[in-house]
Amino acid sequence: MQGLKLAFNYLRIGIMNEFQYRANLYIQILQTFIALGTGLIGLNLVFSQTSELGGWDRTELLAVMGVFITMGGIIRAAIQPNMERLMEDIREGLLDFALTKPADAQILISVREFRLWQLVDVVTGMIVLGVALSQMNWLVGVWDVLAFFSALAMGAVMIYCFWLIVTSTAFWFVRVHEIANLFEGLYAAGRWPVGIYPTWLRMALTFIIPVAFAVTVPAEALTGRLNLQTWLGALALTVVLFFASRALLKFGLRSYSGASA
């Protein structure tokens, strides 16, 4: 309960901070439009040559793109900034300031930053998704919608856990900044359903970097492809990743000796 209140307060501060830089909103809108434009061009190029890709037709792939943009926005608004700050704090020895506060360390380090303007991506992604669904004549049931939102939430948690695991390695290997670059490169694979990738890559995108669960599975829910088995699998993996990442963070914190003194 206290954690929730804390998270809410940090969110409020984060939003107020962002309101100081309103010009960034316009830059963000432009960047989102450029990214959307190039994405649509790519999609159009593919479908100028073929009518389906790996069993997905054009509107269904548009839905995948919508989820991809939405999830990307969530990651860049709430997950990535916190993890990058954690990395920086570990390297500079500034984490002490967070650790000495009387709150759960994991909650604290996970809510300190929030990039409000990235939500432009979330909104845009939802619009793209809406367009795709209207082209499919909104053939989605209540259960599909519930499955979609739960899959999206689990996907976001899994990406968060993945980042936390990677970031925690900063306790031992100080220079992990390139990993952010690596993640962005691999996340881009989520623009297409993971089914089209060769098996080894599909496995990597499912179990090493959970891009498949973050994008493809929610999209499957909306296009009526998701079965209970996959949903339960996602739930199990979310739980496992959550406890694994928490354990690793705690282990890392124990070996953190600070550098500010």
Partner 1 sequence: MKRYFDYYISMMKISVLEQWQYPVANYFYMIGMIAEPVIYMVVWSAVANQQGGMVGGYTPGTFAAYYIVWTLVRQMNIAFTPYGWEWRIRNGRLSTSLMRPIHPLHEDVSFFAGWKVVMIILWIPLAFALSLIFKPELNPTLLEGVVFFIAIWMAYLIRTITLSLLGMVTFWTTRVSALFELYFAAELILSGRLVPLSLMPVWVQELAWFFPFRWAFGFPIEALVGQLTMTDMLIGLGMQVAWVVGGWIVVHLIWKVAIRRFSAVGG
* 27 near partner 1, rule: CB under 8 A: yes
Nearer to partner 1, 138 or 200 (CB): 200
- Residue 183 near partner 1 by CB under 8 A: yes
Question: Amino acid identity of 232?
Answer: L
- Our finding on whether 165 is near partner 1 (CB under 8 A) is no
CB 69 within 8 A of CB 33: no
Cα–Cα dist 52/197, whole Å: 15
Q: Which residues lie below 8 Å from residue 115, measured CB to CB, with a gap of 6+?
A: 14, 18, 76, 77, 78, 81
Q: Output phi, psi for 12, to 5 deg.
A: -60, -45
Which listed residue (175, 228, 255, 261) binds partner 1 by CB under 8 A?
175
197 vs 242, beta carbon nearer partner 1: 197
Q: Which is nearer to partner 1, 30 or 247 (CB)?
A: 30
Q: Contact between 37 and partner 1 (CB under 8 A)? A: yes
- Among the listed residues 186, 231, 242, 253, the single contact to partner 1 using CB under 8 A: 186
- Paired strand residues for 52: 57
Q: Which is nearer to partner 1, 150 or 169 (CB)?
A: 169
Q: Using CA atoms, how far apart are residues 130 and 171, in angstroms rounded to an integer?
A: 42
Q: Is there binding between residue 198 and partner 1 (CB under 8 A)?
A: yes
Rounded alpha-carbon distances, angstroms, from residue 235 to 52, 74, 155, 213: 30, 19, 9, 10
Q: Is 101 left (phi over 0), alpha (psi -120 to 50) or beta?
A: beta
Amino acid in position 89: D
Interaction of residue 31 with partner 1, rule CB under 8 A: yes
| 38-67 footprint of partner 1 as x/- string (CB under 8 A) | x--xx--xx--xx-xxx-------------
For partner 1, the closer of residues 16 and 182 by Cβ is 182
Where do contacts with partner 1 occur on this chain (CB under 8 A)?
A: 23, 26-27, 30-31, 34, 37-38, 41-42, 45-46, 49-50, 52-54, 175, 178-179, 181-186, 188-189, 191-192, 196-198, 200-201
